[in-house]
Amino acid sequence: MERGYLHSRFPALFFFLALLLTSPAISTKSVRGIQPCRSLVLFFHDIIYNGKNAANATSAIVAAPPWANRTILAPMMNFGDIVVFDDPVTLDNNLHSPPVGRAQGLYLYDSKTIFTAWLAFSLVLNSTDYKGTINLVGADPLMNLTRDISVVGGTGDFFMTRGIATLMTDAIEGVVYFRLRLDIKLYECY
Amino acid sequence: MERGYLHSRFPALFFFLALLLTSPAISTKSVRGIQPCRSLVLFFHDIIYNGKNAANATSAIVAAPPWANRTILAPMMNFGDIVVFDDPVTLDNNLHSPPVGRAQGLYLYDSKTIFTAWLAFSLVLNSTDYKGTINLVGADPLMNLTRDISVVGGTGDFFMTRGIATLMTDAIEGVVYFRLRLDIKLYECY
Amino acid sequence: MERGYLHSRFPALFFFLALLLTSPAISTKSVRGIQPCRSLVLFFHDIIYNGKNAANATSAIVAAPPWANRTILAPMMNFGDIVVFDDPVTLDNNLHSPPVGRAQGLYLYDSKTIFTAWLAFSLVLNSTDYKGTINLVGADPLMNLTRDISVVGGTGDFFMTRGIATLMTDAIEGVVYFRLRLDIKLYECY
What CATH number corresponds to the domain at position C158?
A: 2.40.480.10
What pLDDT tens digit does each residue of chain B (190 aa) get?
344 443 444 444 444 444 444 433 333 344 445 799 999 999 999 999 999 999 999 999 999 999 999 999 999 999 999 999 999 999 999 999 999 999 999 999 999 999 999 999 999 999 999 999 999 999 999 999 999 999 999 999 999 999 999 999 999 998 899 999 999 999 999 8
Q: Is C1 on the interface with A (CB under 8 A)?
A: yes
Rounded to a whole number of angstroms, the distance from the CA of C140 to the nearest CA of chain B is 19
Taking a C-beta distance cutoff of 8 angstroms, is the pair A138, A116 a contact?
no
pLDDT band of A72, cuts 50, 70, 90: very high
Mean pLDDT, residues C13-36:
47
Distance of CA B57 to the CA centre of its chain: 22
Confirm whether C26 is domain-assigned.
no
Q: Please indicate if any CB of chain A lies within 8 Å of the CB of B106.
A: yes
Q: Residue C146 and residue C38: Cα distance in Å, rounded?
A: 20
Q: Which of B1, B62, B105 sits opposite A64 (nearest CB)?
A: B62
Tell me whether A36 touches chain B (CB under 8 Å). Answer: no
CB of A118 closer than 8 Å to CB of A110:
yes
What does the pLDDT read at residue C1?
38
Assigned domain for C183 exists: yes
The answer to whether residue B9 neighbours chain A at the CB level (below 8 Å) is yes
Question: Is residue B10 in some structural domain?
Answer: no
Q: For C48-102, what is each residue's pLDDT tens digit?
A: 999 999 999 999 999 999 999 999 999 999 999 999 999 999 999 999 999 999 9
Arithmetic mean of pLDDT, C153-171: 98
Measured CA to CA, the distance from residue C180 to residue C98 in angstroms comes to: 16
CB-based contact C138 A137, cutoff 8 Å: no
Q: Which residues of C touch A68 (CB under 8 A)?
A: none
Q: Is A8 on the interface with B (CB under 8 A)?
A: yes
pLDDT at B18: 41
User: Sign (positive/negative) of CA torsion A127, A128, A131, A133?
Assistant: negative
Which H/E stretch holds residue B40? strand B38-47
Separation in Å, CA C74 to CA A62, B104, C80: 11, 29, 7
Distance, in Å, from the CA atom of C14 to the CA atom of A77, rounded to the nearest integer, reads 60
Subunit contact B5:C5, Cβ cutoff 8 A: no
Q: In the prediction, which pLDDT does B34 show?
A: 74
The reply to whether C67 touches chain B by the CB within 8 Å rule is: no
Chain B residues within 8 A of A8 when measuring between CB atoms: 4-5, 7-9, 11
> Is A120 contained in some domain?
yes
Domain contains C13: no
Rounded Cα distance, A159 and A141, in Å: 28
Which position has the higher pLDDT, B190 or A115?
A115
The pLDDT of residue C34? 73
Q: C30 contacts in A (CB within 8 Å)? A: 23, 25
Q: Count contacts between A and B (CB, < 8 Å).
A: 147
Query: Which residues face C45 on adjacent strands?
Result: C179
CB-based contact, A187 to chain B, within 8 Å:
yes
Percent of the residues in chain C that have a pLDDT greater than 90, as a whole number: 79
**Looking at the domain assignment, is residue B28 inside a domain?**
no
- The span from the CA of C30 to the CA of B165, in Å, is 22
Q: Which pLDDT score is estimated for A34?
A: 73
Closest of B126, B43, B130 to residue B90, by C-alpha: B43
Confirm if C102 and C86 have CB atoms less than 8 A apart.
yes
- Count of domains forming chain C: 1
Q: Which amino acid is at C19?
A: L
Instruction: Please tell me which of the candidates A8, A13, A137 has its beta carbon nearest to residue B153.
Output: A137
The rounded distance, in Å, linking the Cα atoms of C9 and B8 is: 7
For CA atoms C131, B76, B73, C121, give the dihedral sign.
positive
Residue among C84, C133, C156 whose CB faces B80 most closely:
C84
Average pLDDT over chain C reads 87
Report the alpha-carbon distance of residue B107 to residue B120 in Å, rounded. 6
C77/A132 Cα distance (integer angstroms): 23
Q: Name the DSSP class of B34.
A: S
C-alpha distances in Å from residue B95, one per residue of A36, B44, B74, B136, B142: 40, 8, 26, 22, 20
Per the model's pLDDT, the better-predicted residue between C34 and C189 turns out to be C189
* C155: Cβ contacts below 8 Å, ≥ 6 apart: B138, B148, B149, B150, B164, C132, C133
Q: Residue B144 corresponds to which amino acid?
A: N
> What is the model's pLDDT at position B3?
43
Q: Residue B183: which residues within 8 A CB-CB, separation 6 or more? A: B39, B41, B165, B166, B168
- As a whole number, mean pLDDT of residues C140-165 equals 98
- Nearest by CB to residue C154, choosing from B26, B111, B150, is B150
At A167, the pLDDT band (50, 70, 90 cuts) reads very high
Residue A2 resides in a domain? no
**CA triplet A41, A44, A50: central angle to 5 degrees?**
165
CB-based contact, B72 to chain A, within 8 Å: no
Give the chains touching B; criterion: ≥3 Cβ pairs < 8 Å: A, C
Instruction: Report d(CA B135, CA C10) in Å as an integer.
Output: 45
Question: Does residue A32 sit within a domain?
Answer: no
> Helix, strand, or coil here: B97?
coil
Residue C122 · residue B138 · CB < 8 Å: yes
The span from the CA of C144 to the CA of C9, in Å, is 56
Domain that holds residue A75: 38-188
Contact of A132 with A154, CB cutoff 8 Å: yes
Q: Is B107 on the interface with C (CB under 8 A)?
A: no
* Nearest-CA distance C146 → chain B (Å): 24
Distance CA C163, CA C188 (A): 7
Burial of C128 (0-12, 13-18, 19+ CB in 10 A): exposed
The C-alpha angle A115, B61, C180, rounded to 5 degrees, equals 100
**pLDDT tens digits, A79-90:** 999 999 999 999
* Cβ pair B49, B97 in contact under 8 A: no
SS (H, E, C) A88-144: EEECCCCCCCCCCEEEEEEEEECCCCCCCEEEEEEEEEECCCCEEEEEEEEEECCCC
Q: For residue B109, count other CB atoms closer than 10 A to its CB.
A: 28
